[in-house]
Amino acid sequence: MDAGEEPARPPGWDGWWLAGALLCALASAATFASSFLTLFATQALSVTGWESRPASAGVVRNGYPLAVAGALLAIAALFAVITAARLLPDGVALLTTALAAAFLAGVLVTIGAQAAHATPGAGFWLALAAAVSSLAAAAPAALPRRSPY
């Protein structure tokens, strides 16, 4: 190997990156599921990501941004698996996971602002758990790569 040449990437899968990919996939599934559960409720109104009961014209549909966040997390999980196989540069999985986690956190802040005087429902708590999981999924991507040997 010459002095200016970079060392070849060792073959094999990185277990930490696979753990991050699994956390991303779980966060994606939880985010999609949370849009169908009650996000918040008052005495007169129960709101999911797609509808409100009883029907109210003044309620924002949070299902679309939750679906986008779930899709971003699924893409991040895919990139983390590909990175675990050492086929992509390390920064790709970290960047996509961090962007997806930040987008989901922003969606949760928006939902929280809508529900300032309401009781959070199971969908909100599930989306919050997904956000924590997505942040934890970024941790293996930020760690230095371990050698498979």
User: Is residue 7 included in any domain, yes or no?
Assistant: no
Q: What is the pLDDT of residue 147?
A: 58
User: Is residue 90 included in any domain, yes or no?
Assistant: yes
Q: What is the pLDDT of residue 139?
A: 84
Domain hosting residue 99, numbered range: 15-54+61-142
What pairs with residue 120 in β-bridges?
40
Question: What is the number of other CB atoms lying within 10 angstroms of the CB of residue 134?
Answer: 30
User: Is residue 92 included in any domain, yes or no?
Assistant: yes
* Distances 66 to 40, 111, 130, 145 between C-alpha atoms, Å: 14, 10, 11, 32
Q: What is the pLDDT of residue 45?
A: 84
Residues of the chain with pLDDT under 70: 1-13, 55, 57, 144-149
User: Is residue 148 included in any domain, yes or no?
Assistant: no
Q: What is the pLDDT of residue 85?
A: 78
- φ, ψ at 53 (rounded to 5°): -125, 125
Q: What is the pLDDT of residue 20?
A: 85
Output the pTM of the full model: 0.82
User: Is residue 6 included in any domain, yes or no?
Assistant: no
Q: Over the stretch 92-127, which tens digit does the pLDDT of each residue have?
A: 888 999 999 999 999 999 999 988 888 999 999 999
Q: What is the pLDDT of residue 60?
A: 78
User: Is residue 8 included in any domain, yes or no?
Assistant: no
Number of compact structural domains in the chain: 1
- What is the SS3 assignment for 140? helix
Contacts of 65 (CB under 8 A, 6+ apart): 103, 107, 110
Q: What is the pLDDT of residue 89?
A: 79
User: Is residue 115 included in any domain, yes or no?
Assistant: yes
User: Is residue 149 included in any domain, yes or no?
Assistant: no
